[in-house]
Structure 1
């Protein structure tokens, strides 16, 4: 009903910029008084403050917008580690206040506002300004035009459209009038504080790599170098360099082949091990380096560090891999199931010499491509053709569905880990998209090395948080205050400890350091196995036939599930878990525990076995473990997917025999540590992976990338036997 409410907005505002400038403050002022905004304050304070400060800015209430923005920053991260994510809006509003108060032209007011704000920030935060102000003005202009075009020939606008218009108008207005000047002001300030050099390194194989070196002008003696290997060439390079410099190191950021000044072919992941060795060799011999090199970075940059230690250079003294991509393990396939996202990412890093931010951010475009593929029933291998841009890299990756030598040669493999004897600090999070990759390296290092000097920090962080700082919220839920740490501070205190003989970071009380959600405490253990003290088995059985899902079934039975791969228009199904929440159960079977009569702490990752029989040769499992809290809200604890034919050996495919009972081990699930309150229930969903985000396994036994809907045949029939169980790790004091 609220969305249907209309506000006056003349059609001439679409084409006449003078009219638009006059109408936008009036429109924003009306929206500030509307009930939906006030209701939002009760349901989501962050979303409320995000809308509020933007509407106040458009309404030209600059003082109030600054107050709301400060409140939003506190809600976003209740410490200064969030830095200046929204500082561009603050620069704009402060400049508008100065322009009106002191009667000076806007450029002069902006310079004054910038200087005052800059001087108030600690060094660790000024490094982030260049990223915060790097909005795409062209994309903002396009977005505003598209939003305005929806108002053609209309003299009114509904609430939702008005909000969208205010947002796109503010983004374009802010970035277009501030970015050019602030960019130059940042460069000027950086030149006062740092020495920045850009060089091209020629490798022995004849390739070119661009490297950026950043040093503090006050640091005149040789220092250890903190190196980052970055495929995401752009303003982030300078930030990584300056970040190391303000912690009193030399920052060096090298771009991968084909990026920035390199005209070489860009083949992500394939040459890092070889190239980084030569980069470290070059860096270690420079006059500003004291001969010691450390590495840091997250995601691809985390993978790069594992590539670097496949052949360890003597000057490389430590690595800090954060949320590291497990190449071939969790990306571009997770447990041997390729993901649609891989094509979007390939184009993001290969479309030009930097990164194609506009294309990557176009979620609507990529959702439509993935949906078109899913609806068409064409092979997964055709996804790049459907996108309109064929990709050799995409196709090459699909040619390696098992963890074969193609993937193995990029990072340490098996016995290679035995030779890695430098200190390592790994960080990841319970909500990290690359947690499985980060944990893979950690587990392999401990499996093949008798006494690795390798520490792990894991907490309630997502992919971004585990390589920057603990946000106030993760996955939509507030995190404990004790978890809201600066990952940057942790990493550089580690570098101080290893490279400058400093103190070991206080958090690292044992090799495994994990935050137990809902307890506001960190725990410490010597090994992953010691994260828990016991386990309980959750059996796939209906409680109508048993007193508890945690008791072994008295008689063998099964639940039968049918999945029709030909059906691409199925309606989503949901199971109500309370009066206020429900859980999506499409292509899943639902099992629910009794109400827990005491608190328990789940700490670790799910294990166990599925005993199944199917009428095909293969399928992809999909598992979710939820907590249903005493208040009736659901909380996702852990997930697991795997291609059944690779579950026992991710390098060798072992097809299932139709009609025969087969055992599928549960490994590489997501880690979690959380207190589950008395009065909660646990819910387990098991089923089949079938959606537009992943390959579809039709079960013929052919290469899944080549299967089409014509291979669907009869619906998949699965018998989930009740002696199957998911083993849940439990921690007790």
Structure 2
């Protein structure tokens, strides 16, 4: 009995340890809140460091710790924790300016106390000291690094406080969130606009920045920003960026080029900034960029040579530019380039809901609508409302409350037809592109399929293409910037922590200034093999692997190996009811530590691997299926289940079955007949899979609010509604179907 009482007391104490006193009045009285926050942070710090709440990795621990120490007004220790956090990124190019806004605030608070001066004076003093200590190539990034979102942090803080009404205590998780949002609001509301004014003053000392309206020969007016370093007085090559995200990064791209001793020119697309032309994203870049290059190349500060750089839409723009190649354009560096009509706004002919969010982001005003775009709760609600309503995909813009001609126009072209083809080089157009090109993308890049499409087409139609590829463990942001030390929560190999900026501009030095070829470019394809800390270099994409392994769609219980072809044909049946809009997900438990969502998928699990394996390249193969309808959208995922039970996504593939053989012509399936669906345009990966791991293959049917829903009638999928769903979709996945896994051996 005494033992039970003791256990109960321990449990009560543990529960109390997770609660902190926080008066009701702090919610409504800002003066009381100011007094309470330091004390709250002091109570949360020991809990953060306790075994129960300690984050899995040291980065997250130090990240939370320095923030709590700042709220606790322990600025000296907060700077030490922040410095320790940066040391974890010591071999990386982001280290010098991570959290620089918080660092400047803490330094200014200490200087204010030590020198007995006002906070603005203290801030200016420490800002000047820090600015002078930074590497020059980080200077263009400073405005981005200190531009904290005051409105958003205030909103988050208010939401947390509102939930605390009529409560005298606060739990650990909520207290941590409150401290972090409070700190962001406190810091950036204190240092802005002063820090922006100080940066503007420094820019005036260092750069000549000119923004002007450029009337090009086709009658359109575009806004262009030109940035030169004051010390560079002779004509230089110009690095041009075509930026639809007007006002966002314009000066950054220009200053970045100037810092690398080029002239930076950033032009905004039609309808943006001061342009009164119609804003039709993607449609006019080829024509307009030719005229911009023509003007730029004739300016006194240009030596007649132009290069282009940029990522995502800005990467697409470069491919648009080479459809009609201007003689002054000597090289392009397309990074994570959107494959228009290939991977966006539809991936393998399946339109994505995100397209409407993006359209409104770039068309709602002359700049970018950050508030609307960042309102993920709103967009999730819109997509969910559409999904539950069963209305046609065409109704998505009406459901959002704002109709869109662009959205509707895109939906009119579900095939890769002339509408998309005219925007970028198409087939034989690639044979005429004879300038050097450097493409960068990543294994986790949302536009990897597009970036590799251009690369493959260029080499297909131009056997002498001077075109290099660098691909590694980078996401959409990392493959067009500094990269990141962590991706998807895991550290990347040290050799992969390269500066994409340095790579790009060393390429420009090589092509435009006769410099040395970048060391990493040892062959056409340069790829990093994750978990080996090595780069490999091969002549073409097919040589990323040396053999393949066929993973057949069969239950491992009925075969010694899923990698052996089955002796007799059978199938696994899957039923998907499109009328059912129950969003409840199902999961496949792979271990005590992890599970994988399998709501509309069938799971095939391999045996335990008895040796290490390097998977390198992209998935291929065929699905042999029969369905009771004319069409469906396949959804494929390949996972590694590590020996410790954690899962890692290796590759994905999604395709509309009727376009799987030819993305330009729809070929409907014959109901109840076995059809073969090829697997093309999956995501490339290069990674060592450790002995003791298993592979998990998920195959299934796309049915979720992030994509169109294909009801299988054979009509235009954008026009189908839940009324077209008819009887449930029945898929027979035959066991002689296989996903071909690329394997690399030295």
Give your verdict on TM over 0.5.
yes
User: CA contact under 8 A between 2:624 and 2:734: conserved in structure 1?
Assistant: yes
Matching residue of 1:222: 235
Q: Which of these residues, 477, 480, 485, is aligned with residue 498 of structure 2?
A: 485
Moved more, 76-85 or 365-374: 76-85
CA distance in 2, matches of 1:161, 1:536: 48
Q: Distance in 1 between matches of 2:716 and 2:423?
A: 23
Structure 1 residues 176-195: aligned runs within 5 Å: 176-195=189-208
- Is the contact made by 1:223 and 1:250 (CA closer than 8 Å) also made in structure 2? yes
> In the alignment, is residue 474 of structure 1 matched against residue 487 of structure 2?
yes
> Structure 1's 232 and 76: CA in aligned 2 closer, same or farther, altered over 3 A?
farther
Aligned partners of 2:314 and 2:334 also within 8 Å: yes
CA distance in 1, matches of 2:46, 2:559: 56
- Report how far residue 7 of structure 1 moved: 2.4
Q: How does 1:373-384 map to 2 (within 5 A)?
A: 373-384=386-397
- The correspondence for 2:556, drawn from 535, 540, 543, is 543
Q: Deviations over 1:584-630 (max 9, x none)?
A: 22111111112222222111100111010000111000001111122
Give the CA deviation at 1:101: 0.9
Q: Which residue, 369, 381, 396 being the options, matches 1:356?
A: 369
Cα drift, residue 154 of structure 1: 3.2
Residue of 605, 627, 631 corresponding to 2:618? 605
Q: Distance in 2 between matches of 1:158 and 1:679?
A: 40
Relative distance call for 1:76 and 1:639 in structure 2 (3 A) is farther
Of the candidates 592, 607, 610, which is equivalent to residue 605 of structure 2?
592
Q: 1:344 to 1:327 in 2, by over 3 A?
A: same
* Partner Cα separation in structure 2 for residue 249 and residue 406 of structure 1: 36
- Give the aligned partner of residue 102 of structure 1: 115
Corresponding residue of 2:462: 449
Structure 2 unmatched ranges of 5 or more: 1-13
> Structure 1, residues 177-202: CA drift from partner, whole Å, max 9, x if none?
10111101001111111111111111
Q: Give the Cα separation in 2 of the matches to 1:359 and 1:42.
A: 32
Deviations 1:241-264 (A, max 9, x none): 111111111111111111111122
Match of 2:430 in 1: 417
Name 2:44's counterpart in structure 1: 31
Contact 1:627–1:637 (CA under 8 A) maintained in structure 2: yes
The alpha-carbon distance between structure 1 residues 211 and 81, as it changes in their structure 2 partners (threshold 3 A), is same
Residue 171 of structure 2, aligned match among 138, 158, 170: 158
1:235 deviates by 4.3
Deviation by residue 1:84-107 (Cα, 9 ceiling, x = unmatched): 242111111111110111100011
Match of 2:325 in 1: 312
- What's 1:649 paired with? 662
Whether contact under 8 Å (1:99, 1:106) holds in the other structure is yes
Give the aligned partner of residue 66 of structure 1: 79
2:31 equivalent to 1:18:
yes
| Pair 1:629 & 2:642 matched | yes
Q: What residue is the counterpart of 1:729 in the other structure?
A: 742
Q: 2:695 aligns with which of 646, 666, 682?
A: 682
- What is the CA deviation profile of residues 72-95 of structure 1, one whole-angstrom value per residue up to 9, with x for unaligned ones? 334467423354242111111111
C-alpha contact (below 8 Å) 1:608/1:727 kept by paired residues: yes
Structure 1 residue corresponding to 2:225, chosen from 212, 220, 224: 212
Q: Secondary structure at the match of 2:97?
A: coil
Which of the numbers 500, 522, 538 marks the counterpart of 2:535? 522
Structure 1 residues 323-361: Cα deviation after superposition (integer angstroms, max 9, x where no partner): 000011101110011111111111111122111112212
| 1:298 has 2:311 as partner | yes
On the 8 A contact 1:76/1:473 being kept in 2, the answer is: no
What do residues 443-501 of structure 1 show as CA deviations (whole Å, max 9, x unaligned)? 11011112100000000000011011231211222211110100000000000000000
RMSD between superposed Cα atoms in Å: 1.6
What SS does structure 1 have at the residue aligned with 2:455? helix
- Given that residues 629 and 677 in structure 1 are in contact (C-alpha distance below 8 angstroms), is that contact kept between their aligned partners in structure 2? yes
Moved more, 48-57 or 489-498: 48-57
SS at match of 2:204: helix
User: Equivalents in 2 of 1:336, 1:526: separation in Å?
Assistant: 30
How many Å apart are 1:32 and its aligned residue? 1.1
SS at match of 1:632: coil
CA distance in 2, matches of 1:471, 1:457: 15
Contact 1:619/1:688, CA 8 A, preserved across alignment: yes
User: Given that residues 336 and 650 in structure 1 are in contact (C-alpha distance below 8 angstroms), is that contact kept between their aligned partners in structure 2?
Assistant: yes
Residue 427 (structure 2) pairs with residue 390 (structure 1): no
**DSSP-derived class of the 2:580 partner:** coil
| Partner of residue 258 from structure 1, selected from 264, 271, 274 | 271
In the alignment, which residue of structure 1 is the partner of 2:211? 198
Structure 2: distance between partners of 1:82 and 1:442: 32
Report if the CA contact (8 A) 1:513-1:522 is conserved.
Answer: yes
Instruction: Give CA deviations for 1:522-541 in whole Å, capped at 9, x if unaligned.
Output: 00000011111111111111
Across the two proteins, how many residue pairs are aligned to each other?
733
CA 1:570 to 1:261, structure 2 compared with 1: closer, same or farther past 3 Å?
Answer: closer
Mapped contact 2:285–2:321 kept (Cα < 8 A): yes
1:204 is paired with a residue whose SS is coil
Q: In the alignment, which residue of structure 2 is the partner of 1:124?
A: 137
Distance 1:3 1:717, change over 3 A: farther
- For residues 140 and 352 of structure 1, the distance between their equivalents in structure 2, rounded to whole angstroms, comes to 24
Given the superposition, is the C-alpha separation of residues 314 and 35 from structure 1 closer, same or farther in structure 2, using an over 3 Å criterion? Answer: closer
**Is residue 243 from structure 1 mapped to residue 256 from structure 2 by the alignment?**
yes
Q: Secondary structure at the match of 1:640?
A: strand
* 1:570 shift after superposition: 5.0
TM-score by length of 2: 0.96
1:286 is aligned to 299
Residue in structure 2 matched with residue 710 of structure 1 by the alignment: 723
Separation (CA, whole Å) in 1 of partners of 2:176 and 2:640: 35
Query: 2 CA distance for matches of 1:642 and 1:398?
Result: 16
TM-score scaled by length of structure 1: 0.98
Query: Residues 297 and 328 of structure 2 are in contact (CA less than 8 Å); yes or no, is this contact kept in structure 1?
Result: yes
Shift of 1:38: 5.0
Stretch moving more, 696-705 or 318-327: 696-705
- Structure 1 spans left out of the alignment, 5+ residues: none
Distance 1:241 1:83 in 2: 21
Shift of 1:293: 0.3
Provide the secondary structure at the position in 2 that maps to 1:347.
Answer: helix
State the SS of the aligned residue for 1:355. Answer: coil
Deviation of 1:28 after TM superposition, in Å, equals: 1.3
Cα displacement string for residues 129-162 of structure 1 (whole angstroms, at most 9, x for unaligned residues): 1111223333433333333333333333232322
Deviates most, 637-646 or 385-394: 385-394
SS at match of 2:460: helix
Q: 1:427 aligns with which of 430, 440, 446?
A: 440
Query: Residue in 1 aligned with 2:4?
Result: none
* Aligned mate of 2:343, from 330, 334, 338: 330
> Cα gap change, 1:553/1:4 in structure 2, threshold over 3 Å: closer, same or farther?
farther
Residue in 1 aligned with 2:60?
47
Q: What secondary structure is seen at the aligned counterpart in 1 of 2:324?
A: coil
Q: 1:89 aligns with which of 74, 78, 102?
A: 102
The aligned counterpart of 1:137 is 150
Q: Any idea what SS the aligned residue of 2:291 has?
A: helix
More deviation in 81-90 or 124-133? 81-90
